[in-house]
């Protein structure tokens, strides 16, 4: 049922104008409430993340140049060695040549894999930036491109088939740019979020248990680092990355950068919960408190890892909070403390 | 002949391109084209844009501005001395002091703005200057651009076919009447040509005055002749030629063809070469609400006009070499203006309408390389948002000062009294308007006077409120301020 256009004069004695938090005066038939002018910005509410662009650094150039020199040195050493071996006995020379060739092939394969991993990481990163841009200016064509790229990214995963099919069916529909990306988020990325959250929760639990029972501090540190590395790789794989060593370092840097900015605490996380849980655990045993602390740290790192590995920014899906991945940890300690 | 002039104009354009490439190295500049059909709010958009940049207001969605990296912007001397300057000061005074909308301009205007900002990416960080040239021109001129690739015979046929459509029959009847006395093979008489042209112009004027109020039929300069009025280049008309009829020399048809070509040479090509081709970013303002208000025919006309506009961004495109000569606009934004006439809960529907209108054109242009965006904005926000409660009924309305003589229902306004206006509900599906599911009179968008913005105690001019102007700017120039 559509309603006809109408106008209400504000100077009409029958009309009362009030601010949002005021009570309307008695005896007026029509009450007009003014809304704050910021309502539009609030309704638009698209968060604009700041992209980080880095040019090549001098340190990088230095390392590359030194690396090149080392490679040359190795090359010339090998060449000498093979020549000497040929001089000593031809069959030794041949064996050395075959070994050198084998080493070269393996080296190229490793480099290729590293590059492919890096490119894939970068592709995911670009996708995330493009999605944020498309949402910020409601760019229809860009949103379509983002969804298409996302479908391509997850094209080889069988369990996304249904979601991909539904998305492809919507691709010609006229829908809002942000709705389109949000649909893709719901269909393709939300199931991965669950898996990632589970991975973080598991890692956090493991770390807290291991550090609580481990006899030596050095073991604690080693295990925390090991768990963090494994977690980052795992999350990256969940979201479609295949990081090699270089790609992994890149991701780790991004995750630590993210951690430094946010402190790993999402909006709406209650610090009280953490402090209470930790305090209770520490009251019982210093070692147990340490375990919980390490578990929390791992969980925070896991959240940062999710933020840098996810191919889309969090649009409609709620970003995971510390409580989601470490709630068990805190709840568990509280129960233990109560016992 | 037209082939030769084509080559000449391309060579000219190439030389100009080289010259500009040289200048670009010394001082980077960005040309922002602002256009839209008549009454779509071009002048207000340009004025508001310059106002916010020059006064240094924070625009949250423009990243450079929200990060505080824009230090200041000032007006500078424009590069083209032959183009009228956009009278910014006059328009701002009209908006803020007299509270009336600036006069509409029917010609091109240009303004140069130097934006000093801190560069935050790339090799050269730190202070930098972006020279922003804003070119404001009537959207009707864009509709002329497809003529460049059309011949006279072709254009005649299409124009006459379009005029025979049912919706235009009434406006075109007197003009069609004149075909009976016109003989394309007759002598090339000046009087006959002038009469034919006048009949054609009357038809165009009737189209413009009709309820559709959208002129989608080129030549655009016929209705805004400027100083070319009465010249032979503007005295021609389409003729009802038989498909296989040859055009003999010294006949009326030959005269008309010649003048059609000179219209292209003296009016269309200079505009293409001097202005359109040099635009880097383009915003096309569309008054969607007025078209929805006027009904399905108006919306269909508007859709066709926008399609034509987007088509012009492909003129001369294709091929690698053509890149040198073709328009270089790499971002085009379609903006539904006057978003302040509806409550923000309806903005989604308004945006859906724009997208629907440009969808056909976008699909065809997507491959042409330009990014196309849509937004619903109000360059100057004339209303506040309110909720009206009457008994149990709740209406989401906008409040402002309707202009004198505006009427909503039984209420007629005097231009001083404020009122909350509920404009009706925009259709959920854009197609509904074309299907005629929106009964006439179920929507009413009265014009509001500009908002009250007084000077503060220090005498500084107030800040003109806006809706999503910052978002539009981020799309148009944001990447150059990164």
Closest residue by Cα to residue B310 from B107, B478, B139: B139
Percent share of chain A, pLDDT over 70 = 80
DSSP output for B294-347: H-HHHHHHHHHHHHHHHHHTTTT--SSGGGGTS----EEEEEE--GGGS-GGGH
Is B417 in contact with A31 (Cβ distance < 8 A)?
A: no
Nearest CB to B444 within list A5, A31, A50: A5
Closest residue by Cα to residue B407 from B389, B395, B394, B421: B421
| Residue A48, pLDDT score | 39
Is B408 in contact with A43 (Cβ distance < 8 A)?
A: no
Beta pairing, strands B29-36 & B281-286: parallel
User: In terms of residues, how long is chain B?
Assistant: 482
Q: How far is CA A284 from CA A288, A291, A300, A333, in A?
A: 7, 12, 24, 10
How many residue pairs bridge chain A and chain B with CB atoms within 8 Å of each other?
A: 147
| Residue B210, pLDDT score | 62
Q: Which helix H or strand E contains B95, and what residues bound it?
A: helix B88-96
Q: Summarize pLDDT for A195-248 with one digit per residue, the tens.
A: 898 899 889 888 888 888 877 778 888 888 888 889 988 998 888 887 777 778
Instruction: Establish whether this prediction's ipTM goes over 0.85.
Output: no
Nearest CB to B389 within list A9, A31, A141: A31
Is A140 in contact with B422 (Cβ distance < 8 A)?
A: no
The residue of chain A nearest to residue B339, with distances taken between CA atoms, is A40
Mean confidence (pLDDT) of chain A = 79
Q: Summarize pLDDT for A61-85 with one digit per residue, the tens.
A: 999 999 999 999 999 999 999 999 9
Res A336 pLDDT > 70: no
| Residue B320, pLDDT score | 45
Find which of A56, A140, A178 to mutate to test the B interface (most B CBs within 10 Å of its CB): A140
pTM of the model: 0.69
- Residues of chain B with Cβ-Cβ distance to A21 below 8 Å are none
| Residue B408, pLDDT score | 83
With tokens 């690739």, the residue in question is B149
Q: Summarize pLDDT for A140-160 with one digit per residue, the tens.
A: 778 888 888 888 888 888 777
| Residue B316, pLDDT score | 41
Taking the C-alpha atoms of residue B473 and residue B481, their distance in angstroms, rounded to an integer, is 11
Interface of A with B (CB under 8 A): 2-11, 24, 29-35, 37, 39-41, 43-44, 48, 50, 53, 55, 136-142, 174, 176
Q: Which residues of chain B have pLDDT under 70?
A: 1-6, 9, 13, 17, 20-27, 210-216, 313-328, 364-369, 456-461
Look at A47-61, A293-307, B456-470 and tell me which has the smallest mean pLDDT: A47-61
Residue A281 pLDDT level (bands cut at 50, 70, 90): low
- Residues of chain B with Cβ-Cβ distance to A54 below 8 Å are none
Those residues whose C-beta lies under 8 Å from the C-beta of residue B347, and which sit 6 or more positions away, are A40, A43, B339, B376
| Residue A95, pLDDT score | 92
Closest residue by Cα to residue B347 from B378, B384, B382, B390: B378
Beta-carbon neighbour count of residue A58 at 10 Å? 7
The residue of chain A nearest to residue B382, with distances taken between CA atoms, is A37
| Residue B112, pLDDT score | 93
Residue A50 pLDDT level (bands cut at 50, 70, 90): very low
Over A94-143, what HEC string results? HHHHHHHHHHHHHHHHHHHHHHHHHHHHHHHHHHHHHHHHHHHHCCHHHH
Residue A94 pLDDT level (bands cut at 50, 70, 90): very high
Is B420 in contact with A32 (Cβ distance < 8 A)?
A: yes
- Residues of chain B with Cβ-Cβ distance to A58 below 8 Å are none
| Residue A338, pLDDT score | 43
| Residue B125, pLDDT score | 78
Taking the C-alpha atoms of residue B88 and residue B94, their distance in angstroms, rounded to an integer, is 10
Residue A271 pLDDT level (bands cut at 50, 70, 90): low
Nearest CB to B421 within list A7, A34, A140: A7
Nearest CB to A8 within list B60, B419, B467: B419
- Residues of chain B with Cβ-Cβ distance to A2 below 8 Å are 424-425, 442
How far is B335 from chain A, CA to nearest CA, in Å?
A: 11
Is A10 in contact with B417 (Cβ distance < 8 A)?
A: yes
| Residue B133, pLDDT score | 93
- Which residues partner with B388 through β-bridges? A32, B395
Q: Is B381 helix (H, G, I), strand (E, B) or coil?
A: coil
The C-alpha angle with vertex B262 and arms to B258 and B268, in degrees rounded to 5, equals 140
| Residue B211, pLDDT score | 55
Is B418 in contact with A9 (Cβ distance < 8 A)?
A: yes
How far is B83 from chain A, CA to nearest CA, in Å?
A: 32
């Amino acid at each position: 049922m559509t309603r006809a256009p109408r106008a209400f004069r504000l100077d009409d004695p029958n009309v009362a104008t009030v601010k949002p938090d005021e009570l309307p005066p008695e005896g007026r038939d029509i009450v007009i409430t003014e809304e704050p002018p910021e309502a539009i910005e609030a309704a638009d509410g698209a968060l604009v993340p700041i992209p980080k662009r880095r040019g090549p650094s001098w340190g990088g150039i230095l390392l590359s140049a030194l690396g090149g020199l080392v490679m040359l040195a190795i090359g010339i050493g090998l060449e000498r060695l093979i020549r000497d071996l040929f001089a000593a006995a031809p069959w030794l020379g041949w064996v050395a040549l075959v070994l050198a060739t084998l080493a070269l092939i393996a080296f190229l394969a490793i480099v290729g894999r590293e590059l492919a991993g890096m490119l894939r990481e970068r592709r995911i990163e670009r996708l995330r930036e493009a999605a944020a841009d498309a949402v910020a200016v409601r760019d229809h064509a860009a949103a379509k491109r983002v969804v298409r790229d996302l479908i391509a990214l997850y094209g080889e995963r069988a369990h996304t088939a249904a979601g991909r099919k539904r998305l492809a069916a919507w691709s010609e529909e006229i829908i809002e740019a942000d709705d389109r990306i949000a649909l893709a988020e719901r269909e393709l990325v939300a199931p991965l979020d669950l898996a990632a959250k589970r991975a973080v929760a598991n890692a956090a639990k493991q770390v807290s248990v291991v550090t609580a029972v481990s006899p030596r501090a050095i073991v604690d540190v080693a295990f925390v680092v090991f768990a963090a590395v494994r977690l980052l790789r795992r999350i990256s794989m969940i979201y479609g990355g295949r990081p090699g060593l270089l790609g992994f370092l890149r991701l780790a840097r991004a995750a630590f950068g993210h951690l430094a900015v946010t402190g790993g605490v999402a909006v709406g996380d209650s610090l009280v919960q953490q402090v209470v849980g930790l305090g209770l655990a520490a009251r019982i045993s210093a070692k147990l408190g340490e375990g919980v602390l390490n578990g929390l740290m791992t969980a925070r790192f896991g959240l940062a890892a999710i933020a840098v590995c996810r191919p889309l920014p969090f649009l409609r899906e709620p970003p995971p909070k510390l409580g989601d991945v470490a709630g068990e940890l805190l709840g568990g300690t509280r129960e233990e403390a109560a016992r | 002949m037209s082939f030769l002039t084509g080559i000449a104009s391309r060579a000219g354009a190439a030389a100009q391109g080289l010259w500009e490439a040289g200048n670009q190295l010394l001082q980077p500049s960005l040309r922002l084209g602002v256009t839209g059909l008549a009454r779509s709010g071009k002048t207000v958009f340009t004025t508001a844009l310059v106002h916010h940049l020059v006064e240094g207001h924070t625009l949250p969605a423009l990243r450079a501005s929200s990060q505080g990296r824009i230090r200041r912007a000032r007006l500078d001397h424009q590069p083209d001395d032959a183009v009228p300057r956009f009278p910014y000061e006059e328009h701002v005074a009209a908006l803020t002091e007299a509270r009336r909308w600036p006069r509409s301009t029917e010609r091109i205007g240009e303004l140069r703005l130097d934006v000093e900002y801190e560069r935050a990416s790339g090799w050269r960080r730190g202070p930098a200057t972006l020279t922003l040239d804003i070119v404001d021109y009537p959207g009707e001129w864009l509709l002329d651009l497809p003529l460049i690739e059309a011949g006279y015979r072709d254009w005649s046929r299409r124009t006459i076919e379009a005029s025979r459509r049912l919706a235009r029959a009434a406006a075109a009847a007197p003009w069609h009447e004149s075909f009976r006395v016109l003989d394309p093979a007759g002598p090339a008489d000046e009087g006959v040509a002038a009469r034919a042209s006048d009949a054609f112009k009357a038809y165009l004027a009737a189209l413009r005055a009709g309820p559709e109020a959208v002129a989608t039929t080129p030549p655009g300069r016929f209705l805004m002749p400027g100083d070319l009025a009465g010249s032979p280049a503007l005295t021609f008309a389409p003729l009802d030629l038989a498909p296989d009829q040859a055009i003999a020399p010294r006949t009326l048809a030959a005269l008309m063809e010649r003048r059609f070509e000179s219209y292209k040479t003296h009016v269309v090509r200079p505009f293409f070469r001097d202005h359109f081709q040099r635009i880097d970013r383009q915003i096309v303002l569309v008054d969607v609400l007025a078209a929805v208000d006027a009904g399905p025919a108006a919306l269909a006309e508007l859709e066709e006009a926008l399609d034509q506009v987007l088509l012009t961004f492909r003129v001369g495109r294709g091929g690698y070499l053509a890149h040198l000569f073709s328009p270089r606009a790499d971002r085009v934004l379609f903006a539904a203006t006057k978003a302040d006439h509806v409550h923000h809960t309806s903005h989604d529907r308004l945006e859906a309408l724009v997208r629907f209108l440009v969808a056909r054109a976008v699909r065809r242009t997507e491959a042409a390389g330009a990014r196309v965006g849509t937004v619903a904005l109000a360059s100057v926000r004339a209303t506040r948002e309110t909720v009206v409660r009457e008994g149990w009924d709740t209406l989401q309305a906008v409040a402002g000062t309707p202009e004198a003589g505006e009427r909503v229902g039984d209420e007629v306004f005097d231009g001083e009294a404020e009122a909350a206006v509920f404009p009706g509900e925009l259709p959920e599906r854009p197609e509904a308007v074309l299907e005629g599911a929106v009964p006439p009179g179920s929507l009413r968008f009265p014009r509001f006077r500009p908002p009250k913005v007084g000077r503060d105690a220090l005498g500084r001019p107030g800040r003109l409120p806006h809706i999503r102007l910052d978002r539009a700017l981020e799309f148009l120039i944001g990447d150059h301020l990164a």
